Copies of this chain bind each other. A is one copy, B any other.
Amino acid sequence: MTQAIHDVLGVGNAIVDILTQADDAFLAEHGMPKGGMTLVDEAQAHAIYDAMGSGVEASGGSAANTIAGVASFGGKGAFIGRVRDDEFGKIFAHDLRSLALVTPDAQRTMNTHLGACVELTEGDIDPALVAASQITYLEGYLFDPPQAKDAFRKAASLAREAGRKVALTLSDSFCVHRYHDEFLALIRDHIDILFANAAEMEALYPDTSLADAASLLAGQVEVAAITRSEKGSLLVSGDQRIEVPAAPIDTLVDTTGAGDLYAAGVLYGLTQGKPLAECGRLGSIAAAEVISHYGARPEVSLSSLAG
């Protein structure tokens, strides 16, 4: 197997986040469960946007945030996703390209598709790019559009064929509920590294203690990273169970991107051959940075925080 050019290749949705402040009543009125991800159609999106207060726009997307984090640690990131040919698409493409200031390789291979179609398809998955990446990282959100799911499976198969690792983040407990059996099969057959939070673990293994669920996962994947908000995370690999504390923060501002950046730290650590406990520490540092400000991408160099 040849030397990988990229540390982590993210495959995910290209999204520009609109951040605003809303109270519980607003969420309830618009049928949005607090802390969850609700799929809405374009009409609903417009209705919510019209009703909400002024916002701030910033590039987001779960896997893209993780790649931004990997780059901020000094890792080499790449990304596959589709963006629209509008102002938001330009923002997203710019913000990913700008990571090339940290990772020169990324510019050359950044695989963003400009076009009216926003849905990722199998054709977008470049086999050479997958083969050149140590870890291909997939976001569970892609399991919603059928074509994206095909792209998702293709990326996982290509990575395994090339002798590379495949990582998955479950993304959302509602998404896990919708595709429960498919996710279980996918994890068993295709995934080396799994990220899940407590709600997603509960959705994946209902009525099972976290310890028991962790043991079930340990039989399926090489590494599982279970995040538990302010309680830190649990890293599981074979017989190892490593509890990682959350990194201290001054003020919690906005939890958007916490899981994405935790994954960035762990994935970066793994690609650098760090011990599991150190991977967890890097994850905690990255998550703490991103929840200390608005927006889902780091504002300071994570490599400087890593010490």
Contact = CB atoms under 8 A, between A and B. Distances in A.
Interface of A: 21, 49-50, 52-59, 68, 86-88, 91, 94-99, 101, 293-295, 297, 299
A54 B87 contact: no
Contact of A59 (B54, B86, B88): B54
Contacts of A95: 54-55
A163 to B, nearest CB: 32
Contacts of A21: 299
A101 B55 CA distance: 13
Given A50-B97, A56-B57, A57-B91, 13 more contacts: A50-B94, A52-B98, A53-B98, A54-B95, A54-B98, A54-B99, A55-B94, A55-B95, A56-B294, A86-B86, A87-B87, A87-B88, A294-B294
B53 A56 contact: no
Contacts of A86: 86-87
B58 A57 contact: yes
Contacts of A54: 59, 68, 94-96, 98-99, 297
Contacts of A68: 54
Contacts of A101: 53
Contacts of A293: 294
A218 B55 CA distance: 39
Contacts of A294: 56, 293-294
B98 A56 contact: no
A91 B54 CA distance: 8
Considering residues A54, A98, A99, which has the most beta carbons from chain B within 10 angstroms of its beta carbon? A54
A98 B50 CA distance: 8
A295 B56 contact: yes
A97 B53 CA distance: 8
Contacts of A53: 98, 101
21 contacts: A49-B94, A50-B94, A52-B98, A53-B101, A54-B59, A54-B68, A54-B94, A54-B95, A54-B96, A54-B297, A55-B58, A55-B91, A55-B94, A55-B95, A56-B56, A56-B58, A56-B294, A57-B58, A86-B86, A86-B87, A293-B294
Nearest to A84: B87
A54 B102 CA distance: 11
A285 to B, nearest CB: 19
Contacts of A58: 55-57
Nearest to A99: B54
Top 7 nearest A-B pairs (CB, nearest first) are A87-B87, A54-B95, A57-B57, A56-B58, A54-B98, A53-B98, A86-B87
A96 B97 CA distance: 31
Considering residues A53, A99, A295, which has the most beta carbons from chain B within 10 angstroms of its beta carbon? A53
Contacts of A56: 56-58, 294-295
Contacts of A98: 52-54
Nearest to A102: B53
